[in-house]
Amino acid sequence: MEYDILIQGGTIVDGTGQAGFTGDVGILGEKIVRIGRLEPGEGTNVIQAQGMVVCPGFIDAHCHTDVYAADCPDAAGKIMQGVTTDVCGLCGDSPAPVGEGNLREYIRRREYKLPGSEPAEACTFGEYRDRMNRLGNTTNMALFTGNANLRVHGVGYENRAASDGRWNR
């Protein structure tokens, strides 16, 4: 069988709970098509993995990659750790939605973040998501909309109940 990529001789930990085992992983396109003792075909990119672990990407179940993803779309810091999926927005804030009327205050309150990582213009959550997709982020991103963003988007920074249904954008 032909493979685009063949990862040979690594210790495969497949995530099922069984012990790791030595084997090869054959990849065609973007899919693993075979695991076992495999031989490369002509033109196969062979990666020697003896002494290394071959496993599915890890999920970082709580991170803030959404804040700096636009500045580091290659996500080298994540990929080098084996993280391929980031779950973001769990702490109640997110880079979107940010309404036009609250943009300046939003930026002021987040000045401690990495420079350049905050939105310079108002954006909806969909606009943020589309921007990240255009940048071609390396990791998969599971995004929660921050509950603080929803409140601020709805009622601004006023200390009042969010009860009248107005939106500030």
Site residues (CB under 5 A) for Zn ion? 91
CA-based nearest residue to 103, from 58, 137, 70, 149? 149
Q: Which is nearer to Zn ion, 1 or 91 (CB)?
A: 91
Residue nearest to Zn ion (CB): 91
**Running DSSP on this structure, what letter comes out for residue 102?**
G
| Closest distance of CB 62 from Zn ion, Å | 6
Contact 6, 30 (CB under 8 A): no
Which residues lie across from 35 on neighbouring strands? 25
In the complex with Zn ion, the residue whose CB is nearer, 151 or 169, is: 151
When the beta carbons of 53 and 91 are compared against Zn ion, the nearer one is 91
The token pair that represents 104 in the structure block: 């300046």
Measured from the CB atom, the residue of 79 and 91 that comes closer to Zn ion is: 91
Q: How far apart are CA 78 and CA 6, in angstroms?
A: 23
Minimum separation from the CB atom of position 79 to Zn ion (A): 20
- Give the shortest CB-155-to-Zn ion separation in angstroms: 23
From the CB of 75, what's the least distance to Zn ion, in Å?
17
Q: How many helices (H) and strands (E) does the chain have?
A: 5, 8
